Amino acid sequence: MRLGIIGLPNSGKTTLFNALTGGDYETSAVSSGQFHVNTAVVNVPDERLDVLEDMYDAKKKVYATITYTDIGGLDKGIGEGGMAGPLRNELSQVDGFVHVIRAFESPTVPHPYQTVDPQRDLETLDSELLLLDLVAVENRLEKIESELKLKGKRADQNLMDEKPLMETFKAHLDQGHPLRDLEITDKQRKMIGGFGFMTLKPVLIVLNLGDERKPGDDQVSYDYKRANHIALQAALEADLAQLDAEDAEMFMEEYGITELSASRVVKLSYELVSIHSFLTAGEKEVRAWTIPVGATAFEAAGAIHGDIQKGFIRAEVTPYTDLVTLGSEAAVKSAGKMRLESKEYVVQDGDVMVFRHSG
């Protein structure tokens, strides 16, 4: 899964990217406004793996990962003026957005619209994305109409099936609502899979607060489905990401911070795109594996290896909490808490799994 970090110029996208990835990419007070991307893979923090590592005395610990791409170059007017191909490509290919909104004041960092106004900025970029979708939908409808005119009853059935959906989309966008707010069936989702509609993607809004947090400055209203928000200090988080683990721990202790906001963002990103983890544990390694929410044991087996899936017999399943409460696999077995599940079992977050398979 890959999330695109977007936002107006100088909102702190690259700063947040550094905070999330521990990277050291250059940030600057003068935005180039140019299209550019930075990409990095990030471990999804998972305290459960640390516990399992100790329990199994494991040699290796493998986290689930998520990829972030810092996408520079968005600004007011892109929806109307069209957008360069590479930027559009990048935006349409990500699975979701992290939308950075500037809430920090700084005399040295010019704001593209002079004043700091998070709600305005959120709506500004959001309406640009909406406009892009509207143009795409209108173009599609035009194509459908002309096909219908040209071929009448012999028109391509798939295209005809798409028509009512595109009309619904258009009406919805015309009212200023993002597409993610609509209920869309799996079949419809497949139909429009190739379009990469911007407002269909889930979004995590990150308010980039200044050094001094004032009550209320972490508020924006954005009442749509598949959207979430968090407020943090990107510059501070980026500095902390540069410290080694020990120094970071000391700092957090001193200031009474239990969890870095950057690590919250990674966890929220994971939830945002509807994925979760099952775990495997042994002496060789403890590991978190990513699967879509709702995936079955059979699909989970496939996430590990095609052969395990092909030879699937049963899955041994122990919820992580049972394993930790009882203290060992043996204790779980004798307490009768280990379940044997078939292919159709819907895997839950934190299931510790062993796959019995042939071959």
Ligand X SMILES: Nc1nc2c(ncn2[C@@H]2O[C@H](COP(=O)(O)OP(=O)(O)OP(=O)(O)O)[C@@H](O)[C@H]2O)c(=O)[nH]1
Residues that bind ligand X (CB under 6 A): 7, 9-15, 27-29, 31-32, 72, 104, 106, 109, 208, 210-211, 233-235
Min dist. Cβ of residue 133 to ligand X (A):
22
Query: Tokens standing for 103?
Result: 């809430």
Min dist. Cβ of residue 238 to ligand X (A):
8
Question: Is residue 12 exposed (0-12), middle (13-18) or buried (19+ Cβ within 10 Å)?
Answer: buried
> Which helix (DSSP H) or strand (DSSP E) does residue 88 occupy?
helix 85-93
Q: List the single partner that 182 binds among ligand X, Mg ion, none, CB under 5 to 8 Å by kind.
A: none
Neighbours of 8 (CB within 10 A): 24
3-state class of 65 per DSSP? Answer: strand
Binding mask 179-198 for Mg ion (x = CB under 5 A): --------------------
Q: In whole angstroms, what is the distance from residue 276 CA to residue 347 CA?
A: 9
User: Total residues contacting Mg ion (rule CB under 5 A)?
Assistant: 3
Q: List the single partner that 22 binds among Mg ion, ligand X, none, CB under 5 to 8 Å by kind.
A: none
Q: List the single partner that 15 binds among ligand X, Mg ion, none, CB under 5 to 8 Å by kind.
A: ligand X
Phi/psi at 173 (5° precision): -65, -40
Residue 109 or 131: the one with the smaller Cβ distance to ligand X is: 109
208 binds Mg ion per the rule CB under 5 A:
no
Q: List the single partner that 96 binds among Mg ion, ligand X, none, CB under 5 to 8 Å by kind.
A: none
Query: Tokens standing for 295?
Result: 């995936």
Min dist. Cβ of residue 336 to ligand X (A):
53
Q: List the single partner that 9 binds among Mg ion, ligand X, none, CB under 5 to 8 Å by kind.
A: ligand X
**Cα-Cα-Cα-Cα dihedral sign, residues 297, 303, 305, 309:** positive
Binding mask 11-50 for Mg ion (x = CB under 5 A): --xx------------------------------------
Which residue minimizes CB distance to Mg ion? 14
Phi/psi at 76 (5° precision): -55, 145
Instruction: Compute the CA torsion angle 289, 291, 293, 295 (nearest 10 deg).
Output: -120
Min dist. Cβ of residue 118 to ligand X (A):
13
72 binds Mg ion per the rule CB under 5 A:
yes
Q: List the single partner that 277 binds among ligand X, Mg ion, none, CB under 5 to 8 Å by kind.
A: none
Q: DSSP code of 346?
A: B
Residue 34 or 334: the one with the smaller Cβ distance to ligand X is: 34
Residue 13 or 140: the one with the smaller Cβ distance to Mg ion is: 13
User: Given the rule CB under 5 A, which of 66-74, 99-107, 226-234, 252-260 is the region that contacts Mg ion?
Assistant: 66-74
Min dist. Cβ of residue 34 to ligand X (A):
8
Q: List the single partner that 233 binds among Mg ion, ligand X, none, CB under 5 to 8 Å by kind.
A: ligand X
Q: DSSP code of 347?
A: P
Q: What CA–CA distances, in Å, run from 93 to 96, 131, 170, 172, 202?
A: 9, 18, 22, 23, 13
Q: List the single partner that 109 binds among ligand X, Mg ion, none, CB under 5 to 8 Å by kind.
A: ligand X
Q: DSSP code of 348?
A: P
Neighbours of 244 (CB within 10 A): 7
Query: Tokens standing for 247?
Result: 């120094």
Residue 10 or 277: the one with the smaller Cβ distance to Mg ion is: 10
* Cβ contacts of 211 within 8 Å, gap of 6 or more: 104, 233, 235, 236
Residue 208 or 318: the one with the smaller Cβ distance to ligand X is: 208
Q: Let me know: does 353 contact 303? Beta carbons within 8 Å.
A: no
Q: In whole angstroms, what is the distance from residue 110 CA to residue 10 CA?
A: 8
Instruction: Please report, as a single letter, which amino acid is at residue 109.
Output: V
Q: Which residues bind Mg ion (CB under 5 A)?
A: 13-14, 72
